[in-house]
C-alpha cells in the first residue's frame, strides 16, 4: 500500500461554541491570539487586564467590542462573572501565579507555553485545576493546527514503521540586549524556555522521553542558556536530538525517521509550512503545504479546541494532556540542570 498523507479532520474553528475570554497580559502574543480569535471563531474578548490600565484600554479598543472591559489589574478580570476562560500571556515567570489565581476564581485557563518555569510549578497548577474541576491546558498551539492534526494521524497510524530517530530544532536570532526579557533569568529568559519547548514537545508527541542522554550548550553572561543541544532516549526505543537557540536562526524544522518511511516538517516548527512524506528508499511519496503559518492565522484553532472541550465537560485536553505538559517540564528541568553544571 503506497504511503500517503491523510486529510486533516479538524472542523473549522468557527463551528466551536462561543466563549467570553479574559486576556491577562496584553502584549504581542495576546494581540495575535485576539486577532485569530476574532477572525476564526465565534468567541469574543470579554475583558482584558494589565498592571497598566492604559494598555488594557488600547488593547480593548483594538481587539474588543463595545462590551469588552478594560481592567487595570489581573484580579479585576478574574472576578468578572462574564468571563468564561482566561488566556495567560504574561512573561513565563508569571504563568503559574496567575494560573493558580484563575483556577481559584473558578475560571478555565489556557496558559501560554511553557506552562511555568519548572516542573514543580507546573505540578502545582495541574493539581489545583484537577482539584477545582476546571479546564486547564498549556497553549501548545502547534498541536491544534491542521498540520498538527495530520502529523498526529501519521504517527498514530504506524505508517512510518518503527520510529528510529527524531530531530527537531528552533533557533531564532534575537537582538543581543542583556536588559531584555529574553536574557533575563528572573523572567524565564533563554532558549530552553522561550523556544526550546517547541522541539521538545514535538519529540514528546511522537514518544515520551525516558532519559536525558546528553545536553550541552552556550550560556549568556546573564545566566540564561543562549543555545543548547539535547539528546533524549524515548519510551518507544527511538532517540531524539533537539536544538534551540536565541543567538542564531536555525532551519527550524523537524523529521521523524522510521523503518518504513520518514516524515519531514518544514519551517517553522511552531506552525509548519509543509509536510513531506518519504518512503523507505528516500523517494517522496506525498507532500502537502499548509497556510496557517503565523500566530494570527493559527491561534484560533487552539481557542476553538478549548471551547469544544469545555462544552463537552472535559477538564483537560486529549490532544495536549496535563500529564504530558508535566513530562515536558521535567525533561526541560533535566536539560537546564545539565546546562548549569556543564
| DSSP 3-state of 8 | coil
Task: Please confirm whether the linkage preceding 290 is cis (ω < 30° from 0).
Answer: no
Mean pLDDT across the chain, nearest whole number?
97
pLDDT in tens, 282-340: 999 999 999 999 999 999 999 999 999 999 999 999 999 999 999 999 999 999 999 98
Q: Using one digit for the tens of pLDDT, what is the confidence trace for 35-60?
A: 999 999 999 999 999 999 999 999 99
Cell of residue 248, nine digits: 542564531
Q: What are the sequence ranges of the domains in the chain?
A: 17-140, 142-303+319-341
DSSP H or E run through 330: helix 322-341
pTM (predicted TM-score): 0.96
* 1 — pLDDT class (breaks 50, 70, 90): low
Mean pLDDT across 122-129: 98
**Pairing mode, if any, of strands 69-71 and 85-88?**
unpaired
Q: Is the pLDDT of residue 342 over 80?
A: no
Helices (H) and strands (E) in the chain, counts: 10, 14
* Helix, strand, coil shares, percent, the chain, to 5: 40, 25, 35
Which CATH fold topology does 142-303+319-341 show?
Dihydrodipicolinate Reductase; domain 2 (3.30.360)
Hey, which residues are catalytic here? 113
Region 17-140: CATH code? 3.40.50.720
Amino acid at each position: 500500500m503506497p504511503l500517503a498523507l491523510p486529510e486533516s479532520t479538524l472542523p473549522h474553528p468557527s463551528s466551536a461554541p462561543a466563549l467570553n475570554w479574559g486576556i491577562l497580559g496584553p502584549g504581542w502574543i495576546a494581540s495575535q491570539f485576539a486577532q485569530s480569535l476574532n477572525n476564526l471563531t465565534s468567541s469574543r474578548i470579554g475583558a482584558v487586564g494589565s498592571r497598566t490600565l492604559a494598555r488594557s484600554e488600547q488593547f480593548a479598543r483594538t481587539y474588543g467590542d463595545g462590551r469588552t472591559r478594560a481592567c487595570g489589574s489581573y484580579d479585576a478580570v478574574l472576578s468578572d462573572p462574564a468571563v468564561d476562560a482566561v488566556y495567560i500571556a504574561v512573561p513565563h515567570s508569571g504563568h503559574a501565579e496567575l494560573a493558580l489565581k484563575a483556577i481559584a476564581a473558578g475560571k478555565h485557563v489556557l496558559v501560554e507555553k511553557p506552562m511555568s518555569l519548572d516542573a514543580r510549578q507546573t505540578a502545582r497548577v495541574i493539581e489545583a485545576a484537577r482539584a477545582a474541576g476546571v479546564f486547564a491546558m498549556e497553549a501548545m498551539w502547534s498541536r491544534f493546527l491542521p498540520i498538527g492534526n495530520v502529523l498526529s494521524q501519521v504517527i498514530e497510524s504506524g505508517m512510518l514503521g518503527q520510529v528510529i530517530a527524531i530531530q527537531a530544532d528552533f533557533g531564532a536570532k534575537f537582538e543581543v540586549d542583556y536588559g531584555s526579557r529574553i536574557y533575563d533569568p528572573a523572567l524565564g529568559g533563554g532558549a530552553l524556555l522561550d523556544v526550546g519547548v517547541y522541539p521538545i514537545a514535538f519529540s514528546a508527541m511522537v514518544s515520551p522521553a525516558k532519559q536525558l542522554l546528553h545536553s550541552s550548550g552556550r550560556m549568556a553572561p546573564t545566566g540564561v542558556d543562549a543555545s543548547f543541544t539535547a539528546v533524549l532516549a524515548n519510551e518507544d526505543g527511538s532517540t531524539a536530538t533537539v536544538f534551540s537557540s536565541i543567538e542564531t536562526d536555525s532551519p527550524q524544522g523537524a523529521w521523524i525517521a522510521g523503518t518504513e518511511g520518514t516524515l519531514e516538517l518544514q519551517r517553522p516548527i511552531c506552525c509548519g509550512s509543509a509536510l513531506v512524506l518519504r518512503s523507505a528508499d528516500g523517494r517522496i511519496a506525498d507532500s502537502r503545504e499548509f497556510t496557517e503559518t503565523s500566530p494570527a492565522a493559527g491561534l484560533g484553532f487552539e481557542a476553538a479546541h478549548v471551547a469544544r472541550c469545555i462544552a463537552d465537560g472535559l477538564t483537560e485536553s486529549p490532544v495536549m494532556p496535563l500529564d504530558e505538559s508535566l513530562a515536558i517540564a521535567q525533561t526541560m528541568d533535566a536539560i537546564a540542570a545539565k546546562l548549569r553544571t556543564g
